[in-house]
Amino acid sequence: MEILNTAAALHAYTENARRAGQRIGLVPTMGALHEGHLQLVRAAAQECEVVVTSIFVNPTQFNNPDDFRLYPRLPEEDAALLAPAGCTALFLPSVEEMYPQPTVVRFDFGALERVMEGEHRPGHFNGVATVVSKLFHLSRPHRAYFGQKDFQQVAIVRQLVLGLSFDLELVAFPTIREPDGLAMSSRNRRLSAEARALAPQLYQGLLLAKRLIEEGQLTPAEVQQTAAEFLRAEPAITLEYLAVVDAHTLQPLTDWQPNAPVAICLAAQLGGVRLIDNVVVAVNE
Ligand code: PAF
């Protein structure tokens, strides 16, 4: 596996691959890799001859300086996991390399970013779209792989690809969970033993909402309220939001729409660590 530290090296590597007729898969990450990431890398390796994984803790997408400072950084451990998963090149740039000058470009994804993560983390998706655009331009992948745990991020990147005519296929993979249901996340490493023991309750809250939707007795607002109350009953969990939304538009639902999938998304803090999770429910009427 090659290790590439500069934008120029990444560009040269992927342009060479293109000229040789090879398919390029890109897996953008912020490192502290877990099984969810590795599944993306393995999928990319099945479909592409060249697999680039980027590890870059992107400062422009953090609205909380402590979250950025404390984000786990384990490049050596990560590199050791990537090669056996089929990664052919690890792109590991510095902040100066990705941002030789401060970026003044601003993205506006409209209603898609005025809810949930976009509402609670001002500027977050502007930073995500900026760095993802840079990675797409530098590596010109045929396919780019993202995890559905960041449900809204996938919707934003899909809009980015359409809006800027990136010539690539976006591939999204379902969330991978620990045996007790906790969604795998790099931030899980920061949980204390107490917080880790409580963390699966987030998924329980989502499953409660899913069951209530499937039973078909309650309105979206009632489902939202019942699941939020379940989570707020645990004092160690600070629920930022739990939203019952249209899985495509991500707008809160006032009523169930026939055959339109619903996403239940949440963000919560446990012992100072912010976690997100979601489940998607098919509503058939
Ligand atoms: O999902 C992430 O880890 C990040 O938001 C991404 C897509 C790598 C952009 O920094």
Q: Which two tokens stand for residue 278?
A: 């979601």
CA of 253 to the centre of ligand 1 (A): 27
Q: Is 90 exceeded by the pLDDT of residue 274?
A: yes
Helix (H, G, I), strand (E, B) or coil at 26: strand
Is pLDDT above 80 for 186? yes
Q: Give the global pTM.
A: 0.97
pLDDT at 70: 94
Domain spanning 186-277: CATH superfamily? Pantoate-beta-alanine ligase, C-terminal domain (3.30.1300.10)
107-138: per-residue pLDDT in tens?
999 999 999 999 999 999 999 999 999 999 99
Phi and psi of 183, rounded to 5°?
-65, 135
Q: What is the pLDDT of residues 198-229, one digit of tens each?
A: 999 999 999 999 999 999 999 999 999 999 99
Predicted local confidence at residue 49, as pLDDT: 98
Which CATH architecture group holds 2-173? 3-Layer(aba) Sandwich (3.40)
Amino acid at 236: A
Q: What is the C-alpha to C-alpha distance for residues 276 and 117, in angstroms, rounded to an integer? A: 9
- Pick from 71, 128, 188 the residue to mutate for probing ligand 1's pocket: most ligand atoms within 8 Å of its CB: 128
> pLDDT per residue over 254-267, tens digit each?
999 988 999 999 99
Residues 69-74 have a mean pLDDT of: 95
Q: In angstroms, rounded to a whole number, what is the distance separating the alpha carbons of residues 44 and 171?
A: 9
User: Bridge partners of 51?
Assistant: 25
Tell me what pLDDT residue 125 has. 98
Residue reference for tokens 């490493």:
189
Residue 192 has pLDDT above 70, yes or no: yes
Q: What pLDDT is recorded for position 199? A: 98
Q: What pLDDT score was predicted for residue 285?
A: 59
What percentage of the chain exceeds 70 in pLDDT? 99
Domain extents for the chain? 2-173, 186-277
Helix (H), strand (E), coil (C) string for 80-149: HHHHHHCCCEEECCCHHHHCCCCCCCCCCCHHHHCCHHHHHCCCHHHHHHHHHHHHHHHHCCCEEEEECC
Query: Could you tell me if the CB of 127 is within 6 A of ligand 1?
Result: no
Q: What is the pLDDT of residues 25-59, one digit of tens each?
A: 999 999 999 999 999 999 999 999 999 999 999 99
pLDDT of res. 231? 98
Examine domains 2-173 and 186-277 and report if their fold is the same.
no
Residues of the chain above pLDDT 90, percent: 98
Residue 283 pLDDT: 80
CA of 282 to the centre of ligand 1 (A): 27
Helix axes 35-47, 75-85, angle to 10 degrees: 40
Contact 58 CB / ligand 1 (< 6 Å): yes
126: left (phi over 0), alpha (psi -120 to 50) or beta: alpha
Which of 34, 36, 37, 31 lies closest to 72, judged by CA?
31
Q: What are the pLDDT digits (tens) for 93-112? A: 999 999 999 999 999 999 99
- Beta strands across the sheet bearing 237-246: 237-246, 262-270, 273-281
Distance CA 122, CA 118 (A): 6
Average pLDDT of the chain? 97
Q: Confirm or reject: Cβ of 31 under 6 Å from ligand 1.
A: no
Q: Is the pLDDT of residue 146 over 90?
A: yes
CA 74 – ligand 1 centroid, Å: 16
